[in-house]
Amino acid sequence: MPQTILILTANSRQDLKLGREIRDLKKVVERSGKQNQFEVEIELAARSEDLQELFLEYKPWIVHFCGHGVGAEGLVLGEEGGEQLVSTKAITNLCRLFASHVNCVLLNACDTDQQAKAMVQHINYVIGMSQAILDDAAYFFAVGFYRGLGYGESVERAYELGCNAIELQINSNGAGADRKLTPVDGTEATALPEHRKPVLYQRTRLDATPPTEPQPPTPEFVAAIAKEADLKRYQDRTRAALDEFGQVAAHPPTLTQHEYRQRQVLVRKVKEFWIEGFLKPSLSTLNLIELGVTQRPDAVWRPFAEMETVPVALDESFEQLQATSIVNQIGTGKTLLILGEPGAGKTVTLLKLAERLVAQTEQNLSLSIPIVLNLSSWAKQRPSIADWLVEELREKYQVPKALSQPWIAQEQLILLLDGLDEVAEAHRNDCVIALNQFIETHGATEIVVCSRVRDYEHLSDRLKLRSAVCIQPLTTEQVNQFLQNVGDSLAGLRTLLQQDSELAKFAETPLILNIMSLAYAGWSAEPVMQQLDSSQNRYQHLFDTYIERVLQRRGPNLPYPKDKTLHWLSWLAQQMVQESQTVFLIEKMQPSWLQSRAERRSYRIRNFLIVGLIGGLIVGLGGGLQYGGLACIQHFNLRLILYRKGRIPGTMLAFSTMLPNGC
């Protein structure tokens, strides 16, 4: 039967990031023991009135308190709207009542040796802190202590290993936050080295067990502590990046009314197209699933405080991180790389960050403006990133060069760049070099770049980024939880995935799980299994069923037959790939989309006749019909030819009249 460890936290002032720390600590404890050796229960912001109920419910073997101590007076617990001091006497009496099953109490807070002396009258082992202890020291003591217990060591030996873990990982003179709420008195004792601050009291003796030189730890223990330290550094680095990203004001010069309006318009366009138009419709599955995010320091964010929109599960694939060669390439800058497998949720993660940044900038237009762009278009001309940004802002957001150039030069933009892996493979490494050159000359510009993980790892150059995260595949538990949350409509799919490991593996990406959910909603298990079980074309059937369902959702009165719709979409996708486009804009249709020599000749003749026909009109109107008008006519001509060849629907012609600037 597993031994229960009850972790109590109190942090009403929120001056320690205890929520994160405790979640990390829970995983440390679970990794420390053999399978099912420990069962960890957590009570965040524990209140005094809850203590008896918690002890009765969980019957803990170890009670672990994280938070603040105030010396002999007692411990501070969190209360709604404030703090409450629980006296040493009350805590001691509580321990007396539950001494039959509580074997050890760990007071991982400053100046708790007085409480420890009182509690040990009733508890076999109590560990307190003799002075204010650094957060990292308290953390590594717990790592070493629980790792020792997991190796089957006694409490005394585990205590020694906890002290040694501090020695191994903490500089005794290091600065940092500690767990002291208020000074105990007007004077401070001579500061002890961090590894000598924890003290162990045993019930058979009232004197503290002195932190003597511990017996040499095993090499396995030293390696385990070093690995935990590496993981913690990864966690701290990524979280520091996430906490600060987008927080620095751009400090632009005093804005004119026109400039203010232009910034406002750009933020609105980003919100309407990417957040309202793309992100929110994409979240049907992801709202029910937390994506696992693993730091990739080997690949090389400063996002905002406690950014829950990008949930961080940094340790799930730690072994993978250690195995890659990119680990040595973390560098400088304020840039984040989001990695992941196809369909893992990289773009959605990027846009959830964009959503948060847009909300911030809407409230304060002096902050840098977030813009979302796709790097795939860079490969066509391969300009400098600054020049590419000017052109992309003009095409995608209708920002004139007179505005975009100063914004780029004054570093007033946050660049959210998707699709590094969608850059043509022959030019992908050149794109990385161009980005690094831009980073060198625009060091204050914050940048996020998305890429498929394998495509990035194959590059010979690495981005000069501060940090990186990797979106992890969904776990079996996450998939099952999603299907259960949806309810009976996906019962058939749930049954199939439980029986078919190949399909279950395929469902580990949110994109595929979303497709499966829409395709097979309402199907019972038997027909789903008949269609997919041992079928050579099972994946084709999945996508065919998905397309059929999507078209059905459009209603019975579709303007075009399904076969024509699929033909047009397929042809359009091919052209966009050839032109390195990921977002379809009608005005970006090119004459190169004409497939035969006869089509291209017809296009040139029509343009020549049209230009000649209206040439006199241009002169007659005194130049009133400008080049932009000619370009629109040429685009109309191109679309007319493509329509007559059956490659695009006729409604595009009508739609063209609704485009901005009449084009």
Do 459 and 480 lie in a common domain?
Answer: no
The letter for the amino acid at 361 is: T
pTM summary value: 0.64
Q: Is residue 30 part of a domain?
A: yes
Query: Is 417 in the same domain as 375?
Result: yes
User: Residues 341-387: pLDDT tens digits?
Assistant: 888 888 888 888 888 899 989 988 888 899 999 998 898 899 999 99
Residue 635: predicted pLDDT: 56
Q: Does any domain span residue 225?
A: no
The pairing of strands 447-452 and 335-340 is parallel
Looking at residue 31, its amino acid is: R
Residues 405 and 296 in one domain: yes
Report the DSSP beta bridge partners of residue 451.
339
Taking 50 as the pLDDT cut, the residues of the chain under it are 16, 80, 172-176, 178-188, 206, 285-293, 295-312, 316-332, 616-628, 653-663
Tell the burial category of 485 from Cβ atoms under 10 Å away from its Cβ (0-12, 13-18, 19+).
exposed
Spatial CA neighbour of 86 closest among 69, 103, 102, 101:
69
Return the pLDDT at 365.
86
Is 174 inside a domain boundary? yes
Q: Is residue 139 part of a domain?
A: yes
User: Which CATH number do you get for residue 277?
Assistant: 3.40.50
Q: Which residue has the tokens 């405790």?
A: 22
Is residue 39 located within the same domain as residue 78? yes
What is the pLDDT at residue 113? 83
Same domain, 485 and 590: no
Query: What pLDDT is stored for residue 441 in this prediction?
Result: 92
* Rounded CA separation 296/522 (Å): 39
Alpha-carbon distance 45 to 48, whole Å? Answer: 10
In 312-407 the beta strands, taken as DSSP E runs, fall at 335-340, 369-374
Do 385 and 417 reside in the same domain of the chain?
yes
Looking at the structure, tell me whether residues 170 and 251 fall in a common domain.
Answer: no
Cα 655–chain centre separation:
38
Q: Are 508 and 634 in a shared domain? A: no
Contact 457, 353 (CB under 8 A): no
Three-class HEC string of 194-216: HHHCEEEEECCEEEEECCCCCCC
Last residue of a domain, one of 217, 252, 268: 217
Domain's final residue, options 217, 251, 268 = 217
Number of structural domains in the chain: 4
Which of 428, 455, 471 is where one domain is finished? 471
Q: Judge whether 564 lies within some domain.
A: no
Q: Is residue 439 part of a domain?
A: yes
By residue range, what is the domain housing residue 123? 3-217
Tokens representing 295? 């730091």
Q: Are residues 259 and 394 in the same domain?
A: yes
569 inside domain = no
- The CATH code of the domain that includes 59 is 3.40.50.720
Whether 327 maps to a domain, the answer reads yes
Residue 493: φ, ψ to 5°: -65, -40
Q: In 217-298, where do the E strands start and end?
A: 293-295
Strands ordered across the beta sheet of 82-87: 68-69, 74-79, 82-87
- Residues 340/470, Cβ–Cβ less than 8 Å: yes
322 plus 466 within the same structural domain: yes
Whether 490 and 483 have beta carbons less than 8 Å apart is answered as yes
Residues 252 and 282 in one domain: yes
User: Are 543 and 613 in the same domain?
Assistant: no
Does residue 28 contact residue 64 with C-beta atoms inside 8 Å? no
